Amino acid sequence: MTSIPAPAPGGKKLGLVIDLDTCVGCHACAVNCKEWNTSGHMAPLPDFDPYGAHPEGVWFNRVHSYEAGAGADGRTVHFPRSCLHCEDPPCVTVCPTGASFKRAEDGIVLVNADLCIGCKLCSWACPYGAREFDEDAGVMKKCTLCIDRIYNETLPETERVPACVSTCPTHARHFGDLGDPESDVSRLVASRGGYALMPEQGCKPVNRYLPPRERPTPPAPARRAANEAPIASRLLAWADRVLSR
Amino acid sequence: MPEASLARAAPDDGIAYSVPTGDRVATTTCYMCACRCGIRVHLKDGRIRYIEGNPDHPINRGVLCGKGSAGIMTQYSPARLRNPLLRVGERGAGEFREISWDEALSLAAEWLGAVRARNPRELAFFTGRDQSQSLTGLWAAEFGTPNFAAHGGFCSVNMAAAGLYSVGGSFWEFGEPDWEHARLFLLWGVAEDHDSNPIKLGLARLRERGARIIAINPVRTGYGAIADEWISLRPGTDGLFIFSLIHELLAADRIDLEFLATHANAHWLVIESPGAADHGLFVRDEAGQPLAWDRAEGPVPAGRAGISPVLAGTLTLPDGRSARPVFHLLAERYLSPEYAPEAVAPRCGIAPETIRRLAAELAEAAFDHPLELPHPWTDMEGRRHESMPGRPVSMHAMRGIAAHANGFHTCRALHLLQMLLGAIDRPGSWRYKAPFPRPIPPGPGPAGAETAPNKPIAGTLLGYPQGPDDLLVDAAGEALRIDKGFSWEAPLALHGLMHMALPNAGAADPYPIDTLLLYMANMAWNSAMNPAENIASLTAREPASGEYRIRHVIYADAYFSETVPYADLVLPDTTYLERYDAISLLDRPIGSAHGPADAIRQPVLAPDRNVRPFQEVLIELGARLKLPAFTRPDGSARYRDYPDYIVNHQRRPGIGPLAGWRGAGGEKIGQGEPNPDQIKRYVENGCFWRHELPPGQHYFKYANRDYLEAAAALGLIARPERIVLQLYCEPLQRFRLAAEGHGSRRPPARLRERVARYCDPLPFWHPPLAAAEISPAEFPLSAITQRPMPMYHSWGSQNAWLRQILAANRLYMNRGLAARLGLAEGDWVRVSSPTGTLRCQLALMEGVNEETVWTWNAIGKRAGAWNLASDAPESARGFLLNHVISAFLTPAGGAARSNSDPVTGQAAWFDLRVRVEKCDPAELPLTEPHLSPLPRPPGLPPAPTLLRHHAGGAP
């Protein structure tokens, strides 16, 4: 069993805020994550049978699309899913070797590949299905919140965000300190009614999802069919209209 | 951005935080779809480490979609061709011999030279989603064949032609919604594509601003998923729905009459003399200027400032003829009860109350929320306006409404709707992207009526007909192009009919083709109305000689597509990361409403195969064939390579492929002599050039003097003249008059009725042509396709990452309909159309029109192609709807009829009607038709079974 450290004084709760109001399900975040991370901190993210009958690889971020509700009032929902960097992560407490750990200073949940024995207990423990097993290396892998981008001093400051955030074409992904109520992401969560996923699991996820915005009620029709005037009289009225050009 | 400035907390924890992304970074332009986003490609140890959006680039502003991010896997695809190939077996058998480039080019030059010396039009040169059409089109004209086009006729020429003949622009590359100011946004027939990142950026901005988004589409996915309202329209009825909205706006008198009389031709007079040769043409003065009726003076030039034009009524001209203003004709047509909501509702499947409510919403958004931008501007008559009043209703439309045989008029209808709302290039409305607007129509007619041995064709092959004199037809009125573009069957075929090139060549109709030159056009598979029809054409033999009817097929592509095995000579292209390209204003521009832009590609990697950029091959072939534009007077090659052409080719003095950094020292924009350092300057600027217009030129561009003068100075338009929006399209009336027996050039008898009906100068709705021969009881469902967002236009969905997202497609059906048909999720079903049948697997959903089924396009692959395993999902469970579409309708009057729009020739693949039945459980769970697996061409390695891409890691 691996214990969870108490948050460091002034420690952050870094995480993502994902806006379901604007996510169109384009998979940009998933693929850009894949290409950054396959040569990144947890490299590589292998692909098995890549040109065969069962292509399947390691992805830290996957997008699920489904429908909610029936008929024309229903919705098509696109739902990106990645590690939620829980405050109380069962994937960490279940780890027999200490490979899975949560950082005190920023709350990021990581895997130390040198300690991982590939027992997969963490993937069984995670209720969100956020763990990805590299069968080739026999090591569990997962979202690092792009730890090699967010602190990377070789990148311009504006680019020190996870790849999924930087690439999202509908700006549906935001990154920041969700432990600081004054941070941009915390304000966004507060203003938009952001919520945690499956709180009943007790993992206290850090990531938040923003629900679709309320749809405005369309205005009532201005005109009824009954007041249809004959075409000729309408043309006459327009013929009298004085215009200048 | 406080969160971004994170201090590293634990420097000694063994984590490498600050690893430079790569050891080299280069900018270039993406080609994973047609958007042409700017990218930064990071390399490490010579391998691609990371591709990201270029934050400075005007198209994508730093974001990048899933396709662009998957460019790494396209670069390292095992389907890349490695050497020129010469066919040694039968066509389709896939038996090739690897040959040298010199042998390949000698052979190509020999075949092409013989055709050119005998009859140049026996060469058909068709390209796919070619982004170098200004070069390929020039090459075809220099060769002397009119038979050239890219894939526009297959894709969206209805959209382009309707726009260019109505407002001097169109959607996508021609214009964009005003994302910053629109209150109401209507998205017509666009699901996931056309275009990609700019629309996503725009939609996010609309959501952020609280604008209302309405998606009109039979399917609720992708962009439609985040709309506020979904209008589930039946395919092919968009036009009716739009006319009904127009009917409502007219009936409620909620239209921008002043705009119509100032910026459109609402007040132009139309001659009213049925049966006469001038019926339906504009009343013109001796100088050819159209006339209007001024309240005080009577007939006056319509463009004169200060007149008070009459918009309705029948007027008697001084010469005794009768005339009516355009607006009169328009109002009369659309106020007709046939377009009332109650009348169209049963056909569209939209409740009359909904149509009324939407019309009211459009009017409310356009007229009841004053929006004025404080930018003074001056119109072409010299009048200064202190501000720019808006009409905050924006629209975007694409193939969904275009790919029908009534698509031209439907697309025109949409522009009419925008014009009636005064919502053209105003704050909050749809706006032109530079270099548009252009004059209506934008240029001279198509060239190519005359061909002769070894003689170039002067002019542009894909031009803009104004009337019968501009058509490419012979004395009998029959087509001169192999695809029958610009004939009476498709007079406004501005993009040609790529989908008819092979079917017609296979039938030697109107004449035989000796050599077919294809570039990245997968015509033996999904770049076909029907793959089997095209394969039949490629393999047809002359009964007498036993020779292939199309004697030579030359194919250039970077990948082992389904068409490769049918080529005699395969010229392997580079990937988009291995070559130069020009994204040119002469071709398909990337400008925005804020100014013109263009871009280049530069090689980021050197090819590791014996491949050459097709553009360079074309330039060399041009020199070997002594085509004048590619040869110096001494007979030597004019251009060293493609970059040399990009820099030094001049279309006319001062105008070349790139508009930035012209002039000897790079000091000029738009026009100027070639600059030897031009490419270097582009590279230094991130591989793009843009020119930012001042705010006073951002709107009203059709009438904005400063803009039009600036555009003329840049060479975007010939002269700074007002562009009058055309509610009424006079060129169409000229075709109609010919069909009615006027003039010397008339359609053949069998086409007269058709031309008279469909060449209507005001848009109208008609059932798709195919509908006439389909029994609704037998084929009760519409069947359409859309591109998945992660693969839209990504010619290579063999991409190892993207195929993990989607490798097999199902047929989507409304859950309620499935219940009535006794079908369930996952059932294998048989889909039958009047021309074919296929087997596929069913999926159920709520968000699809009850009378429509749909699937993802171009996921299905032929077994073995793209170096995929022969049991790959793409061929085992993926399918193309194309198998049940035909390029042809039932012949009429002894002549073939193409399944295309009767005005533009656009492929009408969304007119497909089908029935769906459950398969016998004894049938194999395998898609059908299932063509024989294609063998891997020589030189291609077996595809790897494991990928561990790690740039900078162990190889």
CB B187 within 8 A of CB B180: no
Q: Domains along chain A?
A: 14-210 (3.30.70.20)
Q: Domains along chain B?
A: 92-150+443-572 (3.40.50.740), 581-610+639-714 (no CATH), 771-918 (2.40.40.20)
CA distance A47 to chain B (A): 5
Model confidence pLDDT, tens digit, residues B805-862: 999 999 999 999 999 999 999 999 999 999 999 999 999 999 999 999 999 998 999 9
CA distance B826 to chain A (A): 16
Detail the DSSP E strand segments found in B491-551. 515-519
- Cβ–Cβ gap A74/B192 under 8 Å: no
- Cβ–Cβ gap B221/A103 under 8 Å: no
- Cβ–Cβ gap A225/B356 under 8 Å: yes
Residue A18's pLDDT band, with cuts at 50, 70 and 90, is: very high
- The values of phi and psi at residue B123, to 5°, are -100, 125
Of the candidates B51, B204, B309, the beta carbon closest to that of A243 is on B309
Q: Of B268, B256, B265, which is closest to residue B725 (Cα–Cα)?
A: B265
Largest CA distance in chain A: 88
Mean pLDDT over all residues of chain A? 94
Window A:100-159, CB contacts with B under 8 Å: 103, 105-106, 110, 136, 147-148, 150-155, 157-158
C-alpha–C-alpha distance, residues A228 and B3, integer Å? 60
Model confidence pLDDT, tens digit, residues A19-74: 999 999 999 999 999 999 999 999 999 999 999 999 999 999 999 999 999 888 88
Residue B894's pLDDT band, with cuts at 50, 70 and 90, is: confident
Residue B3's pLDDT band, with cuts at 50, 70 and 90, is: very low
- Which amino acid is present at B572? P
Omega before B589 within 30 of 0, i.e. cis: no
Pairing of strands B85-87, B96-98: antiparallel
CB B622 within 8 A of CB B139: yes
Residue B1's pLDDT band, with cuts at 50, 70 and 90, is: very low
Q: Does B251 touch chain A (CB under 8 A)?
A: yes
Concatenated DSSP letters of chain A: --PPPPPPTT---EEEEEETTT-----HHHHHHHHHHTTSTT----EESTTSSS-EE--SEEEEEEEESSGGG-EEEEEEEE----SS-HHHHT-SSS-EEE-TTT--EEE-TTT-----HHHHH-TT---EEETTTTEEE----SHHHHT-TTS-GGG-S-HHHHH-TT--EEEEETT-TTSHHHHHHHHHT-B-S-GGG----S-EEEPPPPPPPPPPPS--GGG---HHHHHHHHHH-----
Of chain B, the percentage scoring pLDDT greater than 70 comes to 98
B-chain residues near A172 (CB < 8 A): 204
Detail the DSSP E strand segments found in B464-535. 515-519
- Cβ–Cβ gap A50/B200 under 8 Å: no
- Cβ–Cβ gap A235/B312 under 8 Å: yes
CA distance B454 to chain A (A): 47
Of the CA atoms within 13 Å of residue B721, those in its CB half-sphere come to: 12
Model confidence pLDDT, tens digit, residues B303-343: 999 999 999 999 999 999 999 999 999 999 999 999 999 99
C-alpha–C-alpha distance, residues B293 and B307, integer Å? 9
pLDDT of the residue at B775 = 92
- The yes-or-no verdict on residue B798 having pLDDT over 50 is yes
In B, minimum Cα distance to A147 occurs at B17
Model confidence pLDDT, tens digit, residues B650-690: 999 999 999 999 999 999 999 999 999 999 999 999 999 99
Of the candidates A14, A76, A236, the beta carbon closest to that of B221 is on A76
C-alpha–C-alpha distance, residues B955 and B953, integer Å? 6
Residue of A51, A150, A168 to mutate when probing chain B, most B C-beta within 10 A:
A51
Q: Does B19 touch chain A (CB under 8 A)?
A: yes
Instruction: Locate B7 and state its tokens.
Output: 């201090």
C-alpha–C-alpha distance, residues B228 and B224, integer Å? 9
Count of Cβ atoms closer than 10 Å to residue B55 Cβ: 16
The residue with tokens 């997968």 is B522
pLDDT of the residue at A245 = 84
- Cβ–Cβ gap A215/B221 under 8 Å: no
A-chain residues near B6 (CB < 8 A): 12, 14, 106, 150-151, 160
Q: Does B10 touch chain A (CB under 8 A)?
A: yes
Q: Does B361 touch chain A (CB under 8 A)?
A: yes
Residue B955's pLDDT band, with cuts at 50, 70 and 90, is: low
C-alpha–C-alpha distance, residues A186 and A184, integer Å? 6
Residue B793's pLDDT band, with cuts at 50, 70 and 90, is: low
Residue B4's pLDDT band, with cuts at 50, 70 and 90, is: very low
Mean pLDDT of A88-113: 97
Rounded (10°) CA dihedral A186, A188, A191, A194: -80
Concatenated DSSP letters of B478-496: -BSSTT-TTSTTSTT-TT-
CA distance B635 to chain A (A): 48
- Which amino acid is present at B861? K
Model confidence pLDDT, tens digit, residues B38-68: 999 999 999 999 999 999 999 999 999 999 9
Mean pLDDT over all residues of chain B? 95
Of chain A, the percentage scoring pLDDT greater than 70 comes to 96
The DSSP letter of residue B122 is G
pLDDT of the residue at B228 = 95
Q: Of B767, B821, B575, B456, which is closest to residue B81 (Cα–Cα)?
A: B575
A-chain residues near B68 (CB < 8 A): 28
Residue A226's pLDDT band, with cuts at 50, 70 and 90, is: low
CB A141 within 8 A of CB A61: no
CB B809 within 8 A of CB B785: no
Dihedral sign computed on CA atoms, order B576, B582, B584, B590: positive
Of the candidates B5, B201, B253, the beta carbon closest to that of A169 is on B201
C-alpha–C-alpha distance, residues B930 and B479, integer Å? 36
Q: Of B371, B414, B434, which is closest to residue B180 (Cα–Cα)?
A: B371
Residue B7's pLDDT band, with cuts at 50, 70 and 90, is: low
pLDDT of the residue at B152 = 86
- Cβ–Cβ gap A39/B943 under 8 Å: no
Residue B204's pLDDT band, with cuts at 50, 70 and 90, is: very high
Query: Helices marked H in B598-638 — which ranges?
Result: 614-624
Buried b / exposed e along B520-536 (16+ C-beta atoms within 10 A): bbbbbbbbbbbbbbbbe
B-chain residues near A239 (CB < 8 A): 310-313
Mean pLDDT of A177-189: 98
Instruction: Locate B445 and state its tokens.
Output: 């007619």
Task: Provide the angle, in degrees to the nearest 10, between the axes of the packed helices B407-420 and B238-251.
Answer: 30
pLDDT of the residue at A7 = 84
Model confidence pLDDT, tens digit, residues B122-181: 999 999 888 899 999 999 999 999 999 998 888 889 999 999 999 999 998 899 999 999
C-alpha–C-alpha distance, residues B118 and B120, integer Å? 7
Instruction: Locate B859 and state its tokens.
Output: 């996921």
Instruction: Locate B346 and state its tokens.
Output: 């049963």
- The yes-or-no verdict on residue B215 having pLDDT over 50 is yes
Q: Does B393 touch chain A (CB under 8 A)?
A: no
- The yes-or-no verdict on residue A216 having pLDDT over 80 is no
- The yes-or-no verdict on residue B794 having pLDDT over 70 is no
ipTM of model: 0.97
Largest CA distance in chain B: 96
C-alpha–C-alpha distance, residues B515 and A181, integer Å? 70
Return the H-helix or E-strand segment holding B301: strand B298-301
- Cβ–Cβ gap B10/A166 under 8 Å: no
Window A:70-89, CB contacts with B under 8 Å: 70-72, 74-78
- The yes-or-no verdict on residue B787 having pLDDT over 80 is yes
Q: Does A47 touch chain B (CB under 8 A)?
A: yes
Of the CA atoms within 13 Å of residue B276, those in its CB half-sphere come to: 12
